[in-house]
């Protein structure tokens, strides 16, 4: 073979080899695809589809079409939703350092950027320590009698009216317990002003952040400013009084913690936000499920009447609330079936490779608690209300009513306590029946019985 032919053959072979290697290297570094799914309308995305119907329908239709990981857009945020227990654990626990806690911009502006939800690292760990210290069993066991007084006052205010809207009344009850846990039993002078402003604020929580007169967001931001002023006055009075009370506000105000007044106000509002509507929603569903399941109601009533007889006209004690296994299972099953929190928000802090897909930096990542709770792979006959299923512990990562990991709800013990106290007095002293449609559900943002569950309530004879 002539030298020139040899040279050309080698050149061609080299070019082919180089192109092959280049193709191989390129394929290895090619960006992974985004998860499948649709983004909906510009900016609005699929917000209306999610919040205007049963969220089970939205999630199940997506999973059926795209699988357990899919993309969408809600509340102005590009999102990846995750519908499996393993994926939820990966985001919330195993790889939590890659996904910071976050909320839509509207919520962050209304609650306050200093609130515990929006942080991680040392600042978050310090705040979580303070909240846990205030809400751990050793602390809240000392306020059982005060929660009981609020429960009794609430029930007594319902009885003369006969017909009440359950969710509305439960929100008032949960709000008053939240104020007790934050300020202590003596902080009542600002309760009505705080309540008025907070009720306006909450109506804008899931609105688009359009701050022009006439919008829910604009009204909410005005209420948020007023709330900040009220809390600044409360903090100032506490400092003048040099109180040594043991409550969450006092912990926030400790010089050792170094929190500014603005950070304290953000976290007070954040605690009310976390403690109020979720607990009120659970209580509303409990009344509905008990009314619809007479056998379960009978079992709960028997348990509570036995405790009432044993305490011999004395107030409820912390020890009494530890002797309510039947009622506790009702609470667990209610949280599973109702799934008050359909999901939680995280945000990718960098581009993340996840189960063969790319989650871009800044995208929201939403583990779908509701889908996990309603999957037949995790719970047999998942749409059935059956508290007895919790006689056996559920499979790991399948029951997540309070989230999981370092950012799980630190107030879960307080929430369970206030529910147990109210259910005790409700089932031992009152009877109730539902009025109007009993199968309808309304959404936005929490799933609730239709019209907030109107009921007739009366004293037992």
Q: Which residues are annotated as a binding site for heme?
A: 409
* Rounded-to-integer distance, Cα 150 and Cα 181, Å: 12
**What CA–CA distance (Å, rounded) separates 414 from 183?**
15
Token pair of 225 as six digits = 């400013």
Of 191, 184, 188, the closest CA to residue 244 belongs to 184
Q: Helix, strand or coil for residue 72?
A: strand
Q: How far is CA 290 from CA 35, 249, 431, 434, in A?
A: 41, 36, 11, 11
Cα dist. 81→129, 337, 347, 405, 438 in Å?
A: 30, 20, 11, 18, 31
Secondary element (H or E) of residue 458? strand 454-459
* Gap between the terminal Cα atoms of the chain: 113
- Beta bridge partners, 366, equal 81
Q: Which residues contact 188 (CB under 8 A, 6 or more apart)?
A: none
Tokens 């499948």 sit at which residue? 36
What is each CA distance from 13 to 2, 18, 338, 343, in whole angstroms?
A: 17, 9, 66, 56
Measured at the alpha carbon of residue 150, what is the angle toward residues 426 and 145, in degrees to the nearest 5?
95
Task: Tell me how crowded residue 143 is: count the other CB atoms within 10 A of its CB.
Answer: 22
- Grouping H, G, I as helix, E, B as strand and the rest as coil, residue 367 is strand
Q: Which residues are annotated as a binding site?
A: 409
Burial tier of 266 (Cβ tally within 10 Å: 0-12, 13-18, 19+): buried
Rounded to whole angstroms, the Cα distance separating 79 from 37 reads 10
């Amino acid at each position: 073979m002539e030298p020139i032919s040899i040279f050309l053959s080698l050149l061609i072979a080299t070019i082919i080899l180089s192109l092959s290697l280049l193709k191989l290297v390129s394929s290895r570094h090619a960006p992974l695809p985004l998860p499948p799914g649709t983004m909906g309308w510009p900016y609005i995305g699929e917000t209306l589809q999610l919040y205007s119907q049963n969220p089970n329908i939205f999630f199940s239709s997506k999973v059926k079409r795209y699988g357990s990981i899919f993309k969408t857009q809600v509340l102005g945020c590009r999102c990846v939703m995750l519908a499996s227990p393993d994926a939820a654990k990966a985001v919330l626990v195993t790889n939590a350092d890659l996904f910071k806690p976050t909320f839509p911009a509207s919520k962050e502006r209304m609650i306050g950027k200093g609130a515990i939800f929006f942080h991680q690292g040392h600042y978050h760990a310090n705040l979580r320590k303070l909240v846990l210290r205030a809400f751990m069993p050793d602390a809240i066991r000392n306020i059982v009698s005060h929660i009981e007084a609020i429960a009794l006052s609430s029930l007594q205010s319902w009885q003369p009216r006969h017909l009440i809207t359950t969710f509305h009344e439960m929100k008032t009850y949960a709000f008053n317990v939240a104020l007790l846990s934050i300020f202590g039993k003596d902080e009542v002078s600002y309760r009505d002003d705080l309540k008025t402003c907070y009720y306006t604020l909450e109506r804008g929580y899931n609105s688009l952040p359009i701050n022009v007169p006439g919008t829910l967001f604009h009204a909410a931001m005005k209420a948020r400013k007023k709330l900040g002023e009220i809390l600044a006055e409360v903090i100032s009075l506490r400092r003048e009084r040099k109180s040594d009370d043991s409550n969450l506000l006092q912990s926030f105000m400790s010089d050792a913690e170094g929190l500014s007044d603005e950070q304290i106000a953000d976290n007070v509002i954040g605690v009310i936000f976390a403690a109020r509507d979720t607990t009120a929603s659970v209580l509303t569903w409990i009344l509905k499920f008990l009314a619809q399941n007479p056998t379960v109601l009978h079992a709960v009533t028997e348990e509570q009447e036995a405790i009432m007889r044993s305490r011999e006209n004395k107030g409820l004690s912390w020890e009494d609330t530890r002797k309510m296994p039947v009622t506790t299972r009702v609470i667990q099953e209610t949280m599973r079936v109702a799934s008050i929190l359909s999901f939680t928000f995280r945000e990718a802090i960098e581009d993340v490779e996840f189960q063969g897909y790319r989650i871009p930096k800044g995208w929201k990542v939403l583990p779908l608690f509701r889908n996990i709770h309603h999957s037949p792979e995790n719970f047999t006959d998942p749409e059935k209300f059956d508290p007895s299923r919790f006689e056996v512990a559920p499979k790991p990562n399948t029951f997540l009513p309070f989230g999981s990991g370092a950012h799980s709800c630190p107030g879960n013990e307080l929430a369970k306590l206030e529910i147990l106290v109210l259910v005790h007095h409700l089932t031992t002293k009152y009877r109730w029946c539902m009025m109007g449609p009993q199968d309808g559900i309304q959404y936005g943002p929490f799933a609730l019985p239709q019209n907030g569950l109107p009921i007739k309530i009366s004293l037992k004879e």
